Every structure is written in structure tokens, then in C-alpha cells.
Structure 1
Amino acid sequence: MSFGVKGGYTLSSMKFFNTQLDSKSYFYAGILAEQPLSSKFGLQAEVLYTQLGGKEIYPGVQLVGNEIVNMGDMKFEYKLNQIQVPISLKYYLIPNLSASVGMNIGINISSKIKTDTIFNGEVTTNSEGSKTLNFFPFLGTEYKINEKFFVDARYHFNFFETNKENTVPTKIGFLQAGVGYRFK
């Protein structure tokens, strides 16, 4: 069994109803453990911290008498801080290159909506609609530069709703790409 650390870049995209929001960039960092199952297969578990979300701009309008008045644009940023636990089955195509498939369990630590417009005296509010647990199936690849260093990338699919029932239907998909170091 080997242990290591990894970190990198997360690019997430969020969809409300059928509206695609602008992507959100963030980092991820965490630890991993890999257990070889054979010369071709391995099982890897990780614990990562990251933030998912999206951004959007709405035109701000207000009804004054019988007139609609343009108040400028309102910017919103949705932030889901998560501890993620990806579990993957790896297949080694060649000794240094593997393909992986797995499930990422996202545990929401906080869910916030930040805006440049003041609502009820606040510019940041907690979002009550997010599920505590989210599930993201993924496909990925890893290349071992040497026995200690590696690079990896994977895409997490937006197959499942991330909000609770009876709230706005929301899905999140994201790409993660980074580097890691294995202790021997």
C-alpha cells in the first residue's frame, strides 16, 4: 500500500433548471492511499478539500409606478465548500499510465450565495437547498513521472441533483487536474 498527497485545479460548472452558469475555478488538496490488487489493477481512496459552484449575472430591474427601471447588473456566485472522498478502481494500461473509474462522495461543509447586491442587509447568505451528501461518478487518468511524483486528471459527471427535493433543480459537473507525491 502507498500513501501520498495531491493538489491541483478544479473547474466546476453548475446548471439550474436548464440554465448553464459561468464556470468557477478553485483548487483542491488532500491525501490518498492506493492498494494494488494485481499487476494491472489498483484501488485508490482519497480525502480532498475543494470548492464547487458557478457564477451568473442578472439584469437588475425595479418597477417604479408603471415604469421598469434598470438598476444595473446583479452578480451572483454560488459556493459549495466540500470534503470529497473519491474511491477509484485503476487499470494500468502500461506500468506508468492508468485509467480510473469511480465515485466521488462530496460532503458539503457550507453552501453560500455571494452577490454584489444587498439582500436583507447581507451580501453573502447561506443556501439552505443543498444536500449534505452529493455523488459524482468520474473517469480519469494518471501518469507516474517516477516512483514518487505523478500527474492526474479526471472528470466528474453531473448525473445527480445536488439540491434537496422541492428546491431549484441543480447539477454540478467538474474537472480536476493536478500533481501528487507518493511516500514509499
Structure 2
Amino acid sequence: MKKLIFSVMLAACAAFTANAQTLSFGVKGGLTISKLTQFDDAKVRPSIFAGGFANIAFNESMSLQPELLFSGQGTKYEPLNQKITYRLNYINIPVMFQYRIVPEFYLEAGPQVGFAVSGKTHAGKVTVDISDNTKAVDFGLGFGLGYQFPVGVGIAARYMFGLTNVFENSFENNKNSVAQIGMFYTFKHQHTSSKKRKR
């Protein structure tokens, strides 16, 4: 399943790039609200995400958007009135298929692969590194929507749900559950199609 998702991501990027009419780049960032599933009394942990993207437009309605993002994730919980925070940081590569209902508004969905860069727990003044106990690669699926203003600035919201158990050698099925809301800016696009545009 995981290999299939990754293969689909690569094949889709290659196919859309070969047939792209326009190619544009941009930056994005905002707030993440995350928690781990199947975690007793789990509470959300707010953090940030930031990175860049390429938008490969096939036509006026359909496009493919691969991204490279830093994402702060994890969860909070309070066993026996003690506050414990799991801070899990990832470099995520989502590949979102976008459909524009109108030029400004779009819906999106697609797979994501994430690479764990750090993992720590905090309980009071005690910090423990748990990087060795977390899986190096995390697979997920997501969906979202966005609105882009004519000047290139836009707002977007997305929900990503994990398909991989976060921890190594764990009997619990703890998976990432992450909501994102933020802003993006798209630079002026470039035409890549070999076909001449009509004047």
C-alpha cells in the first residue's frame, strides 16, 4: 500500500509535468493543529508549517501541486494531572490533485509522504528524545480547499490523516491527524506548453 502510494505520486508528477501548460511556484505557511489517534485523553498540539510548492496546471480546471513542507506535529495529554507533550517534527511531501470550480476557488486531495526529523516528549522541565522510537517515514492522505486572490495571495485549509503507525514496535495504532490553515503566495507562472498561444 505504501509503495503503491509513493509510486502513484511519482508517476502522476511525471505525467502532469510532461503535459503541463503552465508551471508556477510559490511559498506557504501557517498553523497546524495535530494529535495522535488511539491515544488516551489526547489533546491537540498547535504548531506551524512552512515551505514551498510547484503548481503544474494541465488545463484551466485541473492541476497537480507537489509541496515540500516543514510540519510541527504531535499531541498533548494529561495522565494523573501531569501535562506531557509529544513534539514530532516532519519534512512532508504532499502531492495534491487540485480541481478549480472557478478560477479563484479549488478543491484538492492526494497522498503525502513524511520524513521524521525529530521527536521529543516534554513533561515539566524534563525533555526526552524519542527519535529512535518513531518511524522514519510516515504515509498519509489529505483533502482541502483554497481561495486565491488575483494578486497571487491565497488562503487554504487542509486535513491530513496518517496511514502509518507513528511509533516503532507499538501495539497501539497511533497515527498522525493534522489540520492545517494558512496563507500562500504564487509567483507569476510560466507557460511550458509547446503549443503556440492564440493572439
| 1:7-52: CA deviation from partner (whole Å, max 9, x where unpaired) | 11100021345x2411000111111110101221000011111210
Higher helix share: 2
Higher strand share: 1
Q: Report deviation, 1:151.
A: 0.8
Q: Report deviation, 1:105.
A: 1.3
Secondary structure of 2:60 counterpart: coil
Query: Which residue among 8, 32, 54 is the counterpart of 1:10?
Result: 32
Secondary structure of 1:11 counterpart: strand
**Change in CA separation of 1:134 and 1:26 when aligned onto 2, cut-off 3 Å:** same
**Aligned 8 A contact 2:146 2:154 in 1:** yes
Match of 2:65 in 1: 44
Match of 2:42 in 1: 21
Match of 1:148 in 2: 152
Query: Which residue among 48, 51, 62 is the counterpart of 1:30?
Result: 51
Structure 2 spans left out of the alignment, 5+ residues: 1-22, 189-199
* Aligned residues: CA RMSD: 1.5
Distance 2:41 2:160 in 1: 16
Distance 1:96 1:20 in 2: 40
**Aligned 8 A contact 2:107 2:146 in 1:** yes
Q: Size of the alignment, in residue pairs?
A: 165
Distance 2:99 2:151 in 1: 17
Match of 2:181 in 1: 177
Select the structure of larger CA radius of gyration.
1
Percent identity of the aligned residues? Answer: 28
Query: Which residue among 161, 166, 173 is the counterpart of 1:162?
Result: 166
Match of 2:17 in 1: none
Length-normalised TM-score, structure 1? 0.84
**Aligned 8 A contact 1:129 1:167 in 2:** no
Length-normalised TM-score, structure 2? 0.78
Distance 2:52 2:46 in 1: 21
- Give matches, 1:39-118, under 5 Å: 39-59=60-80, 73-116=81-124
Distance 1:15 1:116 in 2: 23
Distance 1:40 1:146 in 2: 16
Query: Which residue among 120, 124, 127 is the counterpart of 2:127?
Result: 124
